[in-house]
Structure 1
Amino acid sequence: QKERKISESRIAEIQTDVSLQLPSIQELEQNYHIHSAQAADLRACIGRDETMQREIKNGLCPLLSERCLNMKEGQTLEHYFQFQLSDQRSRLLETENSLKAVATQLTQARLALSKQATLDALLNQLEKAQKDESSCEKQLSQLREDLDKLGDNEQVLDSRRADTARLQLLEVELITARASALKYAQLEPRRLRLTELKDEGTQTRKLYDSDNTRLKFLLQDLAEQPNIESLLLALGNPRATFESLNRQIARESHLLYDLKQQQERHQKLSDETASLKLQIEGWSTLDGKLTETNTLITQTRNDYNSFIVNESLALRLPSLESQLEKIRLETKDSKEKQEELEINYIEISKKYSHEEHNQKRHQLPSLIRQTAQLESELKYTETQEQHLSIQLERLSEVKCRQADKMADRDKLNELHDLADFIRDCLRKAGPHITEAYLHTVSLEANQLYREISGNSLVSLRWELDYEIVLEEEGRDRPFHNLSGGEQMAAALSVRLALLKEFSELRFAFFDEPTTNMDEERRRNLAQQIGRIKDFEQLFIVTHDDSFEGFTDNIIQLPKSH
């Protein structure tokens, strides 16, 4: 009851603390995230504007090198950026003050939530203690009733003691009987084996007797063998004679078939002989006719030879006649041409000058040399003209390419200057971008860790030095101070958050993700992995069965694989 009073007093204290009216933790965290994002955006804008303000010269735009057309009359870029910076700094100050207020409320709400959890546990303990107290009171009243019923009845106690002693004796006898039964059970297989051995001995004895009988008969046959051999010698090998006669009998049918074939052939030859005799009788007058024919060939042989010799010449006669006519015509034409040529020669000889012919003959070599020289010079000039035309076209193309290259060079110089400016801006904005990305990943990892661990009272942060810190009840716990399961859950949370934010892959592999986790965290991790909607396929390799209720397909591999 003392512990009960202490619990009731603690419950009253916690109820007074929890009774404070605060917004929900989810609303406070959402406000905190919104204000943090706004502060990061404002810091990035302030850094960018400060960089632009330093690079502005004479009020000209650094990108276009001319006056900005978006400025109003009388307004300069310096005034514009100063106004922008003052406005953004005031907004950043308001956002940071709001962020601090929300962080204070969030810390109070987390403490209140932890006290609420402690209050629930204490109420459960108090209810359990009340139940235990009531059950103890019931048992106590029952014992008192039993004591009242028993009273001082010694006979009941004596009978129970005698029953106890008799029960002990029965237990000893039971142990002895069990030992005997065990020995009998061990003896029974040996009896069965003895029976089998007796049966095998009887069968072996029968086989031995039968073998002895066969041996006696074989010895008798061996004693009679000399008499049998002498009888075989007296018969003179009757087996060979019998086999020879059998072979001759077997050949009888074959010999009869051959005899029939020979008879058929003899009959066929006799028929052919008779037909040939009839044909010879029809040709009996052939010898006389053959003699007459030979006599006629002898008489006409000389005439035949003359015909053969002159036959080729007779065949050539038409062609020779046509050739002769053609030669006559050609001769006539040749004579006419000869007469014409003689007339022309007489006329030309009247006009011919021997001195002029010699003079032209001496001039001909020099004219040939001049012609050859002029032809070579003409060819060289044409070659030079073609070469110069090609060079001129090539120079024109080079001139066009040079103009294009110069235009490209100017454009590239402008792009290089612009790229240097953008690169400088990006390099200076890098820390702010990194801070914003770290903040986004930290928020996502915090949400994942709470869902995996099932505890919404803790917060996970990924610091700027990439250290994982766990905040619990207002205390920061670094990564190396966490338990194995907490380290695994925190690392998985950060990795899943990185996959969601930076990776375009639509599948992921998890190898033993529940290592060093207790049962509740394993179940929460399985539920959280099952809720991931940003991936098309997830593969989990594990020996744990916590994922069976949250997966679409299970492939079990035995150890033999």
Structure 2
Amino acid sequence: MLTRLRLKNIKSYRDAEIHFEEGINGINGENGHGKTTILEAIGYILFDFLPNNKHQYLLRRGARSGSIELEFIADDGIAYTLRRKVGGSEIRLSTPIGEITGKKDVQDWLIDNLFPHLTDPKELSSLFENTIGVPQGTFTAAFLLRPSDRKKVFDEVLGVDEYKKAYENLRKVIKLIEEDLQELKDQQLILQTRTEGYERLKKEKIGLEAEIAQLAGRIQDSQKELEALKARREELETQQKLLQKVENELEVFERSKNATENHLARVKKDIERAETAEKLIAELADEKNEYEESEKTLRSLYARREERNRDERRVQELKHDLERLREKQQRKEELEREISRLNSEIEELLPLAEREDALNQEIERVENELKEPLQRLISEKRQLQQEQRRIDELKIKIETLKREKEQFLPMLQKQIGLTREIEEKSQSIAVIASEIRELQEGLAQAGEKNLCPILKGVECKEVPSFKTYFTREINKRQRILETIQTEHKVLQKELEALENPSEEIAKKDALIADAIQELERLEGIPERIRENSERLRVLSEKFQRYLELTGEAGDEERVKSILSELKKKLEALGDAKRELSKKEALIEEKEKEVGDLSEVHRQIKESEDKLKVQTSALRKYAGLDATITVIEAKVQKLKNSYDLYLQNKPIVERKTEYINEYKRVSNRLREEEARIERLTAEQKSLLASFNESEFQQTIKEVEELDRKLSRYQTSYNEKNHQLEKLQQELSRMKSELEELKRVEERLEEEREFYSYVSLIRDLLNTSGQLIVLELINQIGREASNIYCEIMDDHSLDLQWSDDYDIIVMEGGEERGFAQLSGGEEMSAALAVRLALLKVISKSDIMFLDEPTQNLDSRRRENLSQQIRRIHGFKQLFVISHDDTFNEECDHVIHVEKVDGESRVRTTIDQPL
């Protein structure tokens, strides 16, 4: 159920909120005030239906974007809010658990929860256009189409294609089942091939197991013999290793003894060299002490020379500082003279700068308050004039279209007559063709059994043959059929020559409606032209000392001329204000610099005093360089003796270390000689007990037996590997035999399923059209009842044919839809559409836009009462400028247009 609709910048609505109630909602107002816009907005947001499929059609004039917001309650009793932008792609659905965004996701939700009988979002638009919300002026349009076009429209509404789609969709299923069957057959063949040698392999396995048992016995005997030989080999090998170890140790100690003897000789030489160095440093001790004392004195003199050098650098720095300060004193005097000169120039520029300010303000005022507003007013005036010309063009266009439409009306009557005659001829052709087929069947039967043409199925023995009778009747009907077919072709050519005037009239009506709608959009233009003229008058009075405005393009040129004159006066002043600013900035800059130099005189006096003091302090360093030269010569003379002393002192200091090393090495030599003597005796003992030839023979026997055992083991492993592969192959075959059994069972199930699906597909192919024909008959009966109620004449009978044409029977006379009057057409179309909604629509809502078009007052009253009797809908929306329905409505919404804007004036709840 729809509860609330909000429109922002939608056609003639600026920002309006409309509330709906359960039951019949009447939407009442004058033509062009915005009633149908409510239906179009609901069609767009909920069903994705938009006339001409142009978003600009819905937008308010001048707006770049708009929005529609619809609140509704679904079958679960929960309120949802749907929002959609016009002029953009944004669409959102607010639910209690969050938001759904994106057109596809939102439409999928709508189908799942509101329109479950639909399968495709594309069906939403057709459902709205042809059943739920038929647009204004199109109630009868579908019934005036050619039979083939009419069939396309209502086949989609009744879901005729669903059976065809189901039949075609099952084609893919059949193909998939056939593919599965073939795949199972292929699997069956493969598995049968792969399991052919199962019994043969089982026998091979038994023989292989016996061979493996025999080899295992041989391997066990050989392993026992090999273990005994390996034990004797290990015993001899241990004796050999012990002898080798003794010989290796003996060799190591012999090499160590030779190295120790060499080390002892080197240590003895080191002791002799230390004793020689000890005598030398005793002789050089006095010269070494004198050298060190001179070095100490020289370091002290170097430090005093560095102090003198620092004092000399300080004197130079003071002289440089004094020179810079005297330069600053000169700069200060120059700056004071320049400041005085600039002050004189500023006094001369002040009057010119004031005049420049006044001209700049006037130019700015003309630019902002005259030039720019004038440009906007002139541009707006041009646009409004174009719109006014468009209004005049539209009025002429409407009159022209009405005249053109009237020209087609005589042809329309002729088209209706020709169509009726063609249908009558078609029916006659079908009847005669059927009779010819029955006669041909009778001829065939008469030839075999001589059946009577009068008493059907009775064999006649009195008459020899009925062949002549049947042949004569067939020839007679063939001649009649050819005559009617010729007449049918002539009528068909005449109808085609008319070039479908009903379609041309429908096109003209649509163009007239579009032009009227555009006129309604432009109805505020004259008022806007008056507003533009008033603003132009006010602007002209404000600047009347310059010019009188007319609103034409020449005004802009005159304003440009005024601005040009003012700018020339400004240029003549020579930019005095900028010169004034520059000179004031220069004075400020120079005064700041003078301030920075205010202490320079005092700084000069302080620097001169410091320089005198520092120059006097340099006298205490006289003769320092000569003293340093004498001491440096003495140090150089003693340096060789000092270096020789330092070279020998480390040798003397290591004398004790050398003596101790000599004692330690002598002790180690004695220990090594004793160890060599013990190892020589042990070697002789081992050589007496070890037999080398026995050891080599044992190794040879172990290797031969090891190779024999390896051959046995290799053969054993190969047999075992063969057995393992054989067992794997047997296991695989056993598994595949089980799989073969499962495949054969699945193959049988798949064959049964194939038969079932084929049966269903055949049923869909044959029964779909029968179901639809029954549905057409049901809708036709319901439509006939509604039509009689509207027309207040129960002697009438309305039929809806299988090609979706409406036929009305009155007093035994049959009339097609095109032969009905305007009011009868509207009543019949309404009856069928209401019946469609009652029989097939699953929607709880329905819209009727101007349903009383072409109806007289009595039929309008009958229609309003019939609408009250429609059941199965939670909400019914009746949109009309006629107040006939107001008494039958549960809730009435009045729409009116004020200053070009549609507003919902009042909402009235009517008593039931």
Asked whether the two chains share a fold, i.e. TM above 0.5, the reply is no
Scaled by the length of structure 2, the TM-score of the pair is: 0.24
Scaled by the length of structure 1, the TM-score of the pair is: 0.35
Q: Which has the higher strand share?
A: 2
For CA contacts below 8 A with separation 6 or more, give which structure has more relative contact order.
2
Q: Which has the higher helix share?
A: 1
Q: Which has the larger radius of gyration?
A: 1
